[in-house]
Structure 1
Amino acid sequence: MSPTALLMVSLGIIIGTLTVTSANHWLTAWLGLELNMISILPVITKQKHHRSTEAATKYFLTQATASALMLFSSTLNAWQTGSWNITQLNNELACIFMISALTMKMGAAPAHFWLPEVLQGSTLTTTLLITTWQKIAPITLLYTISNHAQSNILLPIGLLSILVGGWGGINQTQLRKMMAYSSIAHLGWTMTAISIAPNIALMNIIIYMTMSTPFFLLLTTTSSKTLQTITTTWIHTPTATIIMTFLMLSMAGLPPLTGFTPKLLILDKLITHKLTLTAATMALLSLLSLIFYLRTTYLLASTAAPTTNQSTTLWRLKPHQNQMTAALTPIALFNITILPTLLM
């Protein structure tokens, strides 16, 4: 991709997201989402491969359907209430349609079908972009309408997302698909808490983004795409192996790491609102995600010295990649040591 095209695409992605986050009118938010979607399609199809073309097609069709449903919902609300303001989504049917559209935009269950396939057909950098930056706009809209969102709609979506994210990631050997199901599971926790404690839900998704960003960048540095290739990281970059191990444990939500904090706060809020059964179900379903997180952690730890690794090294590090690993260390340590600060 030429520098000019890359600049135009980057500006489109950034301006589209900023337009949505600063919008007060539904049509302005819709315009920002469309600009964001159109701008990322060249990034997905940057690889000259049929898998990337298939991923871009699936992404476009799904996002276009969600945008049409979102436009229909906002029009229905304006017809019934006479207002296009985002914070005044008072019509119940329009609110249900809007939640469905935003669920499809983010890739939460049951509209999750596109996310693993799109991530598998994209590069690791594009995968990072889709699982982090592309979720800012729909999550912002969901946060804005959280006062009108009904718990009896968001709670089943959240529980189903946690179940699908944990169950789907167990059988994966491709790291991109595994992280796709991890994203679905974390979206489930956010969807569950958005109507009860929006600030905690927002903190949950922000912490997940700050954990997944260094992990994807380390995968890009080591060119690891499968569980087999990730076992060779200790040979060349022991630091990256240790960082990825802690990041996986943190994303799994094990105490006293950072990922445990938002889950603990969400469960506390659910119990406070007399939703003890829902909190217990979420805690049990999170054990499914814990399985593939611990499996990956075991593969990273079991190949450390003095264990002899039998896997064939499929990549070779370059000097600038070692510098990237050193630069990512403070970000990863931030995700590991933030827990005492949040609990004070």
Structure 2
Amino acid sequence: MSPFTMTMLLSSLATGTIITATSFHWLMAWIGLELNTLAIIPIISKQHHPRATEAATKYFLTQAAASALILFSSTINAWQSGSWDIMQMTNNTSNILLTMALAMKLGLAPTHFWLPEVLQGSSMKTALIISTWQKLAPMALIIIANNNLSIMVLMTMGMLSAIVGGWGGLNQTQTRKIMAYSSIAHLGWMSVITPLMTKLLILNLVIYIMMTTSMFLVLILSKSKTLQDTSTLLALSPTLMIFTMLTLLSLGGLPPLTGFIPKWLILQELTTQNLQMMATFLALSALLSLFFYLRLTYVMTLTTPPNTTMFKYKWRFKSLNNTTLMSITLSLSILLLPITPLIML
């Protein structure tokens, strides 16, 4: 793909997200989402491989169905109330349909079926875009229309996503699929806290994007597509291996690391709101996710790679990749816990 075409597609992707995030009219929000979807399709299918074409088709059909559902719910509301304003969703049916549509856009369970398949069929860089940037537009709509969404549907889908994200990742050997189920689990936590405190949703989203970006950048640098490939990271860079191990533990939400901040504050807020059962359920579901992060950590740090020349002297070959962004995100994904009191103020 030519640099000009890629620039056009990426700028369209950014424009679509910005249009959706800044709109107050449902038609403009829908146009932004459609622009976003149409820009990412050629990026997914640029490999000219059957798996990439399949992933692009699945992504397009799912996103088109979700966009149609958003348009349908907003039309019902406009028919009843005469208003296309995002903030004025008064019809209960419209609210439920809208919640379901945004959940499908994000990949929340039980509408998560497309996310692991699409990520597996895409390249690592495209998977990074889908896991991070593509979550911004639906999340912006959730934040704007927060008071009008169906609380019961949102919390049920959130709890289901937390458990499905943990269970689904247990049996995976492909790193992209593991990251996809990790994404589903994190989005579950975000949707559970949405009706209670939007500030925590934004915090969780920022930290999730930061940790996922750093993890994908490591996988891109080390060309690790499977669980077995990650065992050669020690030969590439021992320092990077240690940082990656800590980032994985941070994704799991272990206490001294950045990933513990959102989990801690969300559980605290749930118990404050007398939702102890939900808090317990979420905390237990986090153990499932932690298991496959620990398995990835174990393979990466405690197993011996094949001792061929290519692996043994891998560190000798100069990397051509720019690692500035990776260094920043890896550090932030590990060391931000001390700023928690500033967030809580």
How would you bin the TM-score normalised by the shorter chain? over 0.9
Q: How does 1:271-310 map to 2 (within 5 A)?
A: 271-303=271-303, 308-310=304-306
Give the superposition deviation at 1:148.
Answer: 1.8
The whole-number CA distance in structure 1 between the counterparts of 2:324 and 2:33 is 35
Give the superposition deviation at 1:238.
Answer: 1.4
The whole-number CA distance in structure 1 between the counterparts of 2:181 and 2:305 is 28
Q: How many residues align?
A: 339
Secondary structure of the residue aligned to 1:232 is helix
Name the TM-score, length of structure 2 as normaliser: 0.95
Aligned residues: CA RMSD: 1.6
2:335 maps to 337
Q: How does 1:47-58 map to 2 (within 5 A)?
A: 47-58=47-58
Give the superposition deviation at 1:316.
Answer: 5.9
Q: Does structure 1 retain, via aligned residues, the 8 Å contact 2:233–2:240?
A: yes
The amino acid of 1:76's aligned partner reads I
The whole-number CA distance in structure 1 between the counterparts of 2:256 and 2:93 is 42
Give the superposition deviation at 1:327.
Answer: 5.0
Q: How does 1:70-85 map to 2 (within 5 A)?
A: 70-85=70-85
The whole-number CA distance in structure 2 between the counterparts of 1:90 and 1:259 is 37
Q: 62-71 or 236-245, which moves further after superposition? A: 236-245
Secondary structure of the residue aligned to 2:43 is helix
Give the superposition deviation at 1:131.
Answer: 0.4
2:114 maps to 114
Q: How does 1:133-282 map to 2 (within 5 A)?
A: 133-282=133-282
Q: Does structure 1 retain, via aligned residues, the 8 Å contact 2:98–2:149?
A: no
The amino acid of 1:331's aligned partner reads T
The amino acid of 2:163's aligned partner reads L
Give the superposition deviation at 1:336.
Answer: 1.1
Q: Does structure 1 retain, via aligned residues, the 8 Å contact 2:146–2:194?
A: yes
Percent sequence identity over aligned pairs: 49
* Structure 2 CA distance for partners of 1:310 and 1:261, relative to 1, 3 Å: same
Give the superposition deviation at 1:151.
Answer: 2.3
Deviations for 1:180-228, whole angstroms, at most 9, x for unmatched residues? 0000000000010001111101211110000110110111011001010
Deviations for 1:221-255, whole angstroms, at most 9, x for unmatched residues? 11001010000110121122112111100000000
Q: Does structure 2 retain, via aligned residues, the 8 Å contact 1:228–1:311?
A: no
1:24 maps to 24
Q: Does structure 2 retain, via aligned residues, the 8 Å contact 1:243–1:329?
A: no
The amino acid of 1:33's aligned partner reads L
1:68 maps to 68
2:318 maps to 319
Secondary structure of the residue aligned to 1:46 is helix
Give the superposition deviation at 1:331.
Answer: 2.2
The whole-number CA distance in structure 1 between the counterparts of 2:6 and 2:70 is 29
Q: Does structure 2 retain, via aligned residues, the 8 Å contact 1:229–1:311?
A: no
The whole-number CA distance in structure 2 between the counterparts of 1:240 and 1:87 is 46
Name the TM-score, length of structure 1 as normaliser: 0.95
2:35 maps to 35
The whole-number CA distance in structure 2 between the counterparts of 1:190 and 1:225 is 27
- Segments of structure 1 that go 5 or more residues without pairing to the other structure are none
Give the superposition deviation at 1:166.
Answer: 0.1
The whole-number CA distance in structure 2 between the counterparts of 1:331 and 1:67 is 32
Q: Does structure 2 retain, via aligned residues, the 8 Å contact 1:165–1:289?
A: yes
Give the superposition deviation at 1:11.
Answer: 1.1
Q: Does structure 1 retain, via aligned residues, the 8 Å contact 2:77–2:83?
A: yes
Secondary structure of the residue aligned to 1:108 is coil
Give the superposition deviation at 1:134.
Answer: 0.4
Q: Does structure 1 retain, via aligned residues, the 8 Å contact 2:104–2:112?
A: yes
Deviations for 1:65-120, whole angstroms, at most 9, x for unmatched residues? 00100000010111111111111112111010001000010111010000000000
Give the superposition deviation at 1:338.
Answer: 0.9
Give the superposition deviation at 1:311.
Answer: 6.8
- Segments of structure 2 that go 5 or more residues without pairing to the other structure are none
